[in-house]
Chains A and B, each alone.
Chain A
Amino acid sequence: MKILHQIEYKPARVVGGYTDRILRVNLDTQEITIQELPPDFKNKYVGGRGYALKLIWDGTTRETHYDSPENILVMASGPLGNEPAFPGTGKFVVGTISPLTDTFIDSNIGGHFGPLLKLAGFDAVAVSGISREDVVILVDGDAQTISIAAAPAYDREIDEGALSFGDSLLKDVNGGEYSDSLAAVTAGKGACNARFGIVNSLFFDIRRKRIRAKQAGRGGTGTVMRYKGLRGIVVRSSLSKANGNNAIDKEGVRRAGSQLKAVISKCDPQQLHMSTWGTTGLSEYMDKFHIFPINNYQYGQSPESSKLFANVFLDKYFSKKIPDGCYYGCNLACAKGAENVELTRGPKAGLVVNVDGPEYETVGAVSSMGIFDPHFVMEYSWYCDEYGIDTISTGVTISFFMECFQRGFLSADDVGYELTFGNIEAADKVLHEIASGKGFGKIAGQGVARGKKWVAQKYATRNGTSEDAAMAELNKFGMEVKGLEFSMYITKESLAQQGGYGLALKGPQHDEAWLIFIDQVHKELPTLEHKANALKWFPLIRTWFNATGLCKLPWIDVRNPEAAKTAEPAKNLPTLAYYVAYLNATTGSNKRLEDILDDSERLYILQKLINLRQGKGTRISDQIPLRAMGPAYFNEYEARAEYYDGWLQQQLGDNKVPSSQEQRHKLLMEKRIEAYQQLCDIVYEKKGFTSQGIPKRETVEKFGLMDEQARQLLSKFGL
């Protein structure tokens, strides 16, 4: 490997979860520097998302776009992200200015990269600039060197793939052998051609004896990585993974970890059974409650859905009886995978591959295209990972164009073929075109927000109508907010989750709030006040997980039996108590849950300020497509008429519902729009925002965020 620039360094030791060092690499100048953080930095910004937010806030401006040299690609773990004694550690976030949303995006990701980066001496790596040639960064804690090297050329087929390139790279830097002392992040060729490129996190699984991969899927972080000319980062450390955080109170960590492991061992097999099925188990329940996003979220249920239920993947594909944690010590172990899957379509048809996944989101994405073929799910999952594109945004974008066909906005003349729901061959074709940036893929790779504009223009020109009129129609079913495509849940029957998506700062991804069941099924949020409280509390606690290097699933997807005795079982507070104990034992702090929520709120407000600066921070950016609020078209209403009529009758009280179905549908949608606006009003108030969704001065000041930039920004909005 040709080393272009190298420095020697002495890795800082992890103490209480932190090294207090950030590795900074400028690819314009090939400058490598080590930033030492002042003691109060971690107290204020925690780690993970918090570190990424602060670096982006300070290091970019309103004029920074995803492809600007000054855009920063941050990969950051947190103080709790490196502990085999506690389930669900090993997470890190990738944060940057997004090619889809033009504002801050982060996506969390598992694997060994975050823990090894920490052992190699860094809480985060931050890459700026754009390299003139494709490079890789090597962080070698053992050799005590950091290098920028020319990206090695193995073979065209290998070099284009995020998985295959990463696999070769990890062997290459270790004398041809795999090792669990190494991990890598890579981006594939699809990330060059689509705005929704992902970052793959690759690590050696000692049980499967192969490289496995997890993905930072949302928002185009891989696109930024490739635009910078950065093909991969490899990190190495042979230091012991046990007690990787070097906790202040090791016994306290062990105790908290044992308590959580015991709850998981007992309860997961009785609940979602993720240790056997991964997240695919959700498909069945989503279908049952009309939440499965079939045909671009038109219908929540299908007689064909059972072809995509978890037992199908378990029977046909998943390797069985292998602990599948994406980091050591996790007994939820939901990172399922399959070996020896033969590709039957696409440019690599006939190749036998290993598939990591599929996750529920990937299954949902395939259902959104009206496809119910489990083998296609496996192939789609692998190709997306290998190309380095997001299975969610890819699926939602394709399904948007399929609906454009359904409703006459597009024809085969526009696309080159019949891109219709359920058409596997067409879906497969557009997938490969997106990755290669050819044919219709050049348009589809831009995502739904930009796709809407392209379709509106085409349609208006062809039909002599206005683009605005076409756009108004496309806005009903183009499933994006702030430029990001929705994750795979229908929200038509849950006002709280409409807010969960619309008010999410990064766009409609459910890692801020997933309130569908407690709202729609459990009916635990009967009033706007209840919904708004949940829309304040859940994003804050979920932010904390993204700041500390933790996976949320052991908390949120395994209900502690003790929670049933609490006032708000959905918060699963008995399990959260283990997390608070784990935090305090690791860092030596003495925090309560309330303190953690305050820490998170600071990060939340900082993210809101970045959104405001980048033009995505006011009420208008929180508006959701009509389809997210209810049945945008009559066919959707008809499919659930009994439910919708019942809902409408509830709203009207003693007043009679209109006699015709068409009138009822119209009135229903008017009521839904009204309800969403009322929800926005009350949530903004709870969060300390103005009615336009702008944080008030006192809110910013309360969390110590009123620097000069914030002051000027708020002044622009008259605050």
Chain B
Amino acid sequence: MVVSIKFHGMQRVVTNTDSIDMPITVKTRVNDALEYVRQQYPALHLEEDTVVVAVNLEIASLDRILRDNDTVSFLPNIAGG
């Protein structure tokens, strides 16, 4: 099983890719995906208090269990200038 982690904005510039795949098990949670990205790309400085987690474009909590083919994004808070 695998999920796709999408990169947006400056994340895409830092990682130099639109997305990466991450293998998962039945117990893998969003938090594991966050940790995975941190290890792969320490320069991203992702912190749970400053990012919004979206799974399949829906806001999700860090302890949500991931399923096969989910897409995960770590988005900024946007409040519209």
Q: Which residues of A does B touch, CB under 8 Å?
A: 267, 269-273, 276-277, 279, 281-282, 284-285, 288-289, 310-311, 360, 489, 510, 514-518, 521-523, 552-553, 556-557, 559, 561-562, 564, 569-570, 572
Contact = CB atoms under 8 A, between A and B. Distances in A.
B3 interface: no
Nearest to A522: B59
What does DSSP make chain B's interface, helix, strand, loop or mixed?
loop
A552 B81 contact: yes
5 contacts: A267-B50, A271-B51, A521-B54, A523-B59, A561-B50
A543 to B, nearest CB: 15
B46 interface: yes
The 3 A-B residue pairs with the shortest CB-CB distance, nearest first, are A514-B80, A271-B76, A561-B49
Nearest to A559: B77
Interface residues of B, number: 23
Contacts of A270: 44-47, 50-51, 76
Given A281-B9, A510-B81, A561-B47, A272 B54 contact: no
B26 interface: no
Contacts of B1: none
Contact of A272 (B47, B57, B78): B78
A570 B77 CA distance: 8
Contacts of A552: 81
B24 to A, nearest CB: 23
A514 B13 contact: no
B79 A277 contact: no
A570 B44 CA distance: 23
A267 B77 CA distance: 11
Nearest to A288: B8
Nearest to B12: A311
Contacts of A279: 81
A699 B10 CA distance: 47
Given A272-B76, A289-B57, A522 B9 contact: no
Given A277-B10, A556-B80, A570-B77, 17 more contacts: A269-B45, A270-B44, A270-B50, A271-B51, A271-B76, A489-B80, A514-B80, A517-B77, A517-B80, A522-B59, A552-B81, A557-B78, A559-B77, A559-B79, A561-B50, A562-B49, A572-B79
Nearest to A286: B78
Contacts of B49: 561-562, 564
B65 interface: no
B80 to A, nearest CB: 3
Interface centre among B9, B59, B81 (most CB of A within 10 A): B81
A285 B9 contact: yes
Contacts of A311: 12-13
Nearest to B52: A522
B8 A285 contact: yes
B21 to A, nearest CB: 19
A518 B78 CA distance: 8
Interface in B41-78: 44-47, 49-52, 54, 57, 59, 75-78
Interface centre among B51, B57, B75, B79 (most CB of A within 10 A): B79
Contacts of A561: 47, 49-50
Contacts of B81: 279, 282, 360, 510, 514, 552-553, 556-557
A272 B79 CA distance: 10
Contacts of B79: 514, 517-518, 556-557, 559, 570, 572
A281 B8 CA distance: 10
B80 A516 contact: yes
A279 B57 CA distance: 22
Contacts of A570: 77, 79
A267 B50 CA distance: 7
B75 to A, nearest CB: 7
